[in-house]
Amino acid sequence: MPLLLPPGCKLVMIGDSITDCERARPIGEGLFNALGRGYVSLVDGLLQATEPRRRIRIVNMGTSGNTVRDLEARWQTDVLALEPDWLSIMIGINDVWRQFDSPWQVEQHVLLDEYAQTLERLVAQTRPRLQGLVLMTPYVLEPNRADAMRSQMDAYGDALRVIARAHEAVLVDTQAALDAVMAEIHPTGLAWDRIHPTTVGHMALARAFLNAIGYDWAA
């Protein structure tokens, strides 16, 4: 499969802290770690090093702590106003996590129906404006699929898959990518809190993203 990102395209990548990774404000683009220190910068680095003639422009609009509810609140300024050709969305981790680390603060919880309906609404609104869309599943670094948080995260990932199919989006199964690494590395070696990954974890995310868009590793 050839690389899906065409020459000269602008790719906006939006999400929570996993995308954010200390990116520049207000717009995550430019020099001196403006794209942050996570998978977004790794994707950009590989594309610029191996496909410089394509002049692919990447903008990081991740914001730590965000749920899909927060994404909707800033969608106009942080997505639509930037007029991306391609858009990547990775959201859902905090929607699930707050139900477990803050169980009594129910106002922070984004339950599955709200998550799916909000994401569907944002995608339906935006997809006609885009050349391409990438949807990345939420994940937790927990190999036991019967674990309550892992089971819930998988359900949110399933909801995202339905939306991806309905809108012809490229799907990146981040949970599967990290599961493969966890077969050899204990979760604590990839993220102290089972969420925020080390460089190894971010590289697994970047690799999964690049594989999904047809990146040629022999380039």
Tell me the C-alpha distance between 201 and 198, whole Å: 5
The closest alpha carbon to 206, from 75, 1, 21, 6, belongs to 21
Question: Could you identify the residue written with the tokens 């939306």?
Answer: 163
**57-60 β-sheet, strand order:** 57-60, 10-15, 86-90, 132-136, 170-172
Please give the backbone phi and psi of residue 96, each rounded to the nearest 5 degrees, phi first: -85, -45
User: Mind telling me the catalytic residues?
Assistant: 17, 193, 196
Q: What CA–CA distance (Å, rounded) separates 192 from 194?
A: 6
Instruction: Name residue 133's amino acid.
Output: L
Report whether 92 contacts 153 (CB < 8 A): yes
**Cα–Cα distance measured from residue 79 to residue 71, given in angstroms and rounded to the nearest whole number:** 9
Measured CA to CA, the distance from residue 164 to residue 47 in angstroms comes to: 24
DSSP assigned state of 189: G
